[in-house]
Amino acid sequence: MRRPSWVPEGMDLDRPAAARVYDYYLGGSHNFAADREMARRAIEMWPDLPLIMRANRAFLRRAVSYLAGQGFTRFLDVGSGIPTFGAVHEVARAIQPDSRVVYVDRDPVAVAHSRLLLEHDPLSLVVDADLTDPQDLLSRPEVVELLAPGEPVALLLVAVLHFVTDEQDPEGILRRLRDALPPGSALAVCHASLEGRPDQADSHQELYNRTPTPMTMRSRERITGFFDGFDLVEPGVVYLPQWRPDEPAEVDENPERMVGVVGVGLLP
């Protein structure tokens, strides 16, 4: 198979990568046969998976659009995956053309692909760091510069906190990140939830527990607590499709099918 120009040298294309599997769920083109096969096996176990992943991406787009519309031009996307198919920098710059984005991921596949894709974009930087080590993350020069006083920063934690175990103290991590943000900054969270589809929660957690990135689903009350210190933007912490939909008709009578809750908060 001919290696596409966006694939870094030395990358094993015969082993699935979580970032490329996610790209496949979104309908993107940055994936290979091994990724598609893994995704198809997962979909057999849970047919709603592609819908859930797309709803997650749609929330990211709406949240970034909202924040850019409020004047935000600095974005810190932690657990970003491969920035394709409606990536943060594309969405933000449609509203704020000078928007700067720092993408952070610990997956070497996602980091390598991202750096190659963004090598000619001086306003989009990629950092190899782990959310569970906030001290290291916050020490990276790209992050230090983005968080420099002067402008608020939008911290995006979309579909990443549920990969932080209780033992790793997600509340403590969030406090450390919150305290490093400039005044007026924002937090956007999307988190897999125990509520809404308890019949599927166990099987979904089991699916991810077979991978190097096990999942911890949490209650809406617990997830709401992640916004400690932030003022929640209406409509608060809600199911994925319910957060500021483009059209009311986009929210069907069973929004809990998406098995995720989301919210955006602003620092005073």
pLDDT (tens digit, 9 = 90+) per residue, 13-42? Answer: 677 777 777 778 877 777 788 888 888 887
- Predicted local distance difference test score (pLDDT) of residue 169: 97
Answer yes or no: is pLDDT of 212 > 60.
Answer: no
pLDDT (tens digit, 9 = 90+) per residue, 102-122? Answer: 999 988 878 988 898 899 999
Q: What is the mean pLDDT of residues 68-88?
A: 92
User: Distances in Å between the alpha carbon of 166 and those of 28, 43, 130, 171?
Assistant: 32, 27, 16, 9
**Distance from C-alpha of 102 to C-alpha of 123, rounded to nearest angstrom:** 8
The model's pTM is 0.87
Query: Distance between alpha carbon 170 and the CA centroid of its chain, in Å?
Result: 15
Domains of the chain, CATH where assigned: 18-266 (3.40.50.150)
Query: Distance between alpha carbon 213 and the CA centroid of its chain, in Å?
Result: 14
Answer yes or no: is pLDDT of 198 > 80.
Answer: no
DSSP letter for 7, please: S
